[in-house]
Structure 1
Amino acid sequence: MTERVAIFMDGSNLYHALEENCGRMDLEFQEFINALTAGRYLHRAYYYNILQDPERRGHAFQEQGKFLATLYNTPYLEVRLGTSKYRGDMLVEKGIDIMIATDILLFAWRDLYDSAILVSGDGDFAYALQAVKNFGKHTEVVSFAGNLSYELSQTADVLTLLEKDFFKGLWVSDRNARKSSNESNIRNNRRRKRTVTPIPKQTAPRVENGRDSSKQYSPGPIFLREEDPLLHE
């Protein structure tokens, strides 16, 4: 029986981990999901984050809208947005951890997956993972080593420590480069001249030894029937 997996991505944790360890955040999520699934059956992937404040962080809100539009168009990826509040000038997440933990537990109880893949290093999820293990489910944690809590590392059945090389081919710019290369190959193929095999010319019959070899091309004697009008001219 094919193993069923569900992926739970802590968006804020992943964003800051990529920024810190890779210096970039333009992750191609479809390819990332494929890499984590590794040929298994994907129930669904879930991405969690807060919705930016359009009044106090207008530019961030617009940029997030563009980013979320790409996520909404990714097959089998659900986007779940929580709220936020300010403590002074600091924006604080509200309810994201509870949303993730609740979905991990609820989907295990509904038997929607065999293995839960958590993309986060936050130790607050350790108890939820232990609970689904008690349901008989397997747990996988995906995180950079520097962003991983000890509690979470001890709870996971499988631990995938991310490194910069893991993301080769998983960036949006890599996808655009592949697309550009494919389009270039198509254009080059269209420019290529088709090779046409020339048809050999037919040579006229030659006269050999005083005899016309064209006789071999003669259709032979012509026979007329009695009723043919040519016989009665």
Structure 2
Amino acid sequence: MSDRIAIFIDGSNLYHALQANFKRHDLNFSEFANKLTGLRQLFRVYYYNILQEPAQWPEAYRDQQEFLDNLRKTPYLEVRLGSTKMAQGVQVEKGIDIMLATDLLHFAWNNLYDVAVLVSGDSDFAYALQAVKNMGKHIEVAYFERNVSRDLLDVADNRHLLNRKFFKGLWSGKRRTRGKRPVVRD
């Protein structure tokens, strides 16, 4: 019987890393999950991010809603949204890391997966990953070379370097430029 895989995506981390490394974020999440899963059995993909404030950022909110509507159509993918809070005039995420870490631990405790794949470079997850590893689960980290904590790499049983070669064939072809509707390219 093949290993059951659960993929946990830190959406904000992934978005900013895609933007910084490739200047795009039109990732086909179904194909991305398939590549991370390989020949193993996908249990589910969990995508975590904040919900944009419609009153404060109307265009960003509309863009995000369109993105989330498409994301929700991805088979075996669940979207988990946290909120934001203003702190010293800056919008900050509230609860996303805790939400992801709680699901990671809860699903491991309930034996819903054999291998957890974390798509993030954030060191905040290292302790939760170690706890899951101590439960007998395997840990994989999918990361960008310039956007990863050494702590995450140290706890990982396996690593997936997210570089240009990894993403070949995983783009949806819909690239958005600021203020314009998506353009489909062949």
Mapped to 1, the partners of 2:29 and 2:172 lie a distance apart of 9
TM-score scaled by length of structure 2: 0.92
Counterpart amino acid of residue 37 in structure 1: T
Q: What is the aligned partner in structure 2 of residue 70 from structure 1?
A: 70
TM-superposed deviation, 1:91: 1.4
Deviation at 1:25, TM superposition (A): 0.7
Unaligned runs of 5+ in 1: 181-233
1:48 matched to which residue of 2?
Answer: 48
Count matched residues: 177
1:119 and 2:119 correspond:
yes
State yes or no: 1:15 paired with 2:46: no
Q: Flag the structure with larger Rg.
A: 1
Hey, what does 1:160 align to over in structure 2? 160
- Give the match for residue 92 of structure 2: 92
Distance 2:168 2:140 in 1: 21
State the distance in 2 between where 1:127 and 1:11 align.
Answer: 19
Query: Structure 2 regions of 5+ residues with no counterpart?
Result: 175-183
Q: Which amino acid aligns with 1:145?
A: E
Give the Cα separation in 2 of the matches to 1:88 and 1:71: 32
**1:87 CA drift (Å):** 2.1
Partner SS state of residue 86, structure 1: strand
Residues 184-223 of structure 1: per-residue CA shift (max 9 Å, x gap):
xxxxxxxxxxxxxxxxxxxxxxxxxxxxxxxxxxxxxxxx
Percent identity of the aligned residues? 59
Determine which structure has greater relative contact order: mean sequence separation of CA pairs < 8 Å that are 6+ residues apart, divided by chain length: 2
Give TM-score, length-normalised by structure 1: 0.74
Deviation string 1:45-71 (CA, Å, 9 cap, x unpaired) is: 000000000000111000000000011
Per-residue CA distance 1:91-120 (angstroms, 9 max, x = gap):
100000000100010000000000000000
Distance 2:34 2:89 in 1: 38
Cα RMSD of the aligned pairs, angstroms, is 1.2
**Which consecutive aligned stretches of 4+ in structure 1 deviate over 4 angstroms post-superposition?**
none
